[in-house]
Amino acid sequence: MPSAARNKTKPVRELIFGDFWEYDPAPETADPKLQEGYDLFIDGKFVKPRSKKYFDTVNPATEKKLAFIAQADERDVNNACEAAQQAFDKTWSRISAAERGKYLYRIARLLQDHSREFAVAETLDGGKPIKESRDFDLPMTAAHFFYHAGWADKLEYLMPGPKRSPYGVVGQVIPWNFPLLMLAWKIAPALAAGNCVVIKPAETTSITAMKFATILQQADLPPGVVNIVTGNGETGAELMRHKLTRKIAFTGSTEVGRIIMRELAGTDKAMTMELGGKAANIVFEDAPLDQTVEGIVNGIFFNQGHVCCAGSRLLVQEGIAEALIERLKIRLATLRVGDPLDKNTDIGAIHSAAQLSRIQALVESGVEEGAEVYQPSCTLPEQGYFFKPTLFTGVTQSHRIAQEEIFGPVLSILTFRTLDEAIEKANNTLYGLSAGVWTEKGSRVHKVAAALKAGVIWANTYNKFDPASPFGGYKQSGFGREGGRQGLLDYLT
Ligand code: NDP
């Protein structure tokens, strides 16, 4: 029987655990070695902020304070940029490329040595399930340093043509959804290319960045090569506009990316922008349904949906929509929402109260605009910020939940009849970061991928990452690439 016909008739085997079968608690017990508070990391040392101001960082699963974090102001950003410039002029640009590579290898190995401790710290500060920080964030972070270490002395082979040079000081600002991994995406290529760095982590997730500073000290990285300034959006803005930052690299929302570009238009700073997304995950009638369901779940519920490339719009070919949605609902009932430190947890805490309200508001708009909502029955913890995995059916192109980035565990399902309609709907968005295609036919994968306006396209899988593979967007998802040869070229002039 052809796979498309089989998909419409195949009976669904139910495997519902839900509340019937309770797992024993399986808490991760490694010590995250948190300090009471964290200062700034400038010129190889921990220094107090000039303003003497600090703010709290909280655990979103318990709403309890974890530590206090330094608030950097204009003077601290200036000190950090000057330290980076000095390090570039006096040390980093003078040592051999192979030496630079050795530091990166050392950092990668030290991260591996401390990975359990870092994974727990990441989960406590951000709310993501421990199995994700342990099995994805930390291994990928180390992999980025290993990969770029190998490139440090081979830059001349990146592309033919005249030799290219590092910029000098690079200013980098990152978001809260993958705090340590985004830091690695930024710092590893910048250093491999021979630049020095000043980086600002997100206000709500600075802990692993400051722990990373201790790794730099253990690796004996020359002072000033990497400087970490914590603080709010104003700290980020100071860094972006500082006269010494010749290149800036930003990952965050399209809204803030626009503000930065507006302010820096007309300057000679080079820029890369990794912004938001509203990816289409497209399922054709001949897709392998059970695998597709796993891909859809991974695509939207990984990291509570706080993922720029999340497959947040599911486009399903009409003939199999009913069968697929039925399987998805059954699968949703098996997802375990709760304590992020428990190794059985699939969906951890929503990152903050503000993010939870945004998700709630967009879900309410979906109901008001006439889409049908489905949430499995599960009990959410009483404390902390949690949200049930959610599906919307009957979604139309004009609904806010089909257009706006929700950045939460909420899937909007639309249907299509023909390949052209799927492409039209997939491209009907301001964004263009990523997409997924599910079908048995390789030729169809190529045809759809060529027509989609998205920087990353997965076929019969989703959320697969590799440091060698460039990542970045089209349209309002930004410009520039991170990872691979293309990512390195963005750090050379
Ligand atoms: P924001 O844009 O709000 O913040 C990102 C970073 O920018 C934070 O460190 C923030 O500081 C800082 N910031 C805020 N205002 C300014 C400013 N005026 N100038 C300079 N820096 C500023 O995004 P979120 O942290 O909320 O992250 C979620 C967004 O990031 C989503 O839209 C997501 O799609 C996108 N993202 C994109 C990725 C990609 O690769 N394309 C990857 C990951 C996320 P503070 O924390 O203090 O507000």
The rounded average pLDDT for each run of 10 residues, N- to C-terminus, in the chain (493 residues) is 65 58 86 98 98 97 98 98 98 97 98 98 98 98 98 94 94 98 98 98 98 98 98 98 98 97 95 97 96 97 98 98 96 94 97 97 97 94 97 97 97 98 97 98 97 98 97 96 97 97
Which residues are known to be catalytic?
274, 308
CA distance 381 to 339: 8
Check pocket membership of 51 for ligand 1, CB cut-off 6 A.
Answer: no
Q: What are phi and psi of 361, to 5 degrees?
A: -65, -40
**Atom 14 of ligand 1, nearest CA residue:** 233
**Are 373 and 364 in contact, with CB atoms under 8 Å apart?**
no
What number of CA atoms fall less than 13 Å from residue 133's CA on the CB side? 33
Check pocket membership of 275 for ligand 1, CB cut-off 6 A.
Answer: yes
Check pocket membership of 279 for ligand 1, CB cut-off 6 A.
Answer: no
Q: Is 220 left (phi over 0), alpha (psi -120 to 50) or beta?
A: left
Query: Which of 104, 94, 87 has the alpha carbon at shortest distance from 44?
Result: 87
Give the Cβ contact number of residue 324 at 10 Å. 24
Per-residue pLDDT, 250: 98
Strand order in the sheet with 456-459: 372-374, 390-393, 410-416, 313-317, 280-283, 434-438, 456-459
**Atom 43 of ligand 1, nearest CA residue:** 308
Helices (H) and strands (E) in the chain, counts: 17, 18
**Using CA atoms in the order 333, 334, 337, 343, what is the torsion angle rounded to 10 degrees?**
180
Check pocket membership of 276 for ligand 1, CB cut-off 6 A.
Answer: yes
* Cβ neighbours for 24, distance < 8 A, ≥ 6 positions apart: none
Distance 156 CA to ligand 1 centre (A): 33
**Atom 4 of ligand 1, nearest CA residue:** 252
Q: What angle do CA 270, 273, 279 make, to 5 degrees?
A: 155
What number of CA atoms fall less than 13 Å from residue 402's CA on the CB side? 21
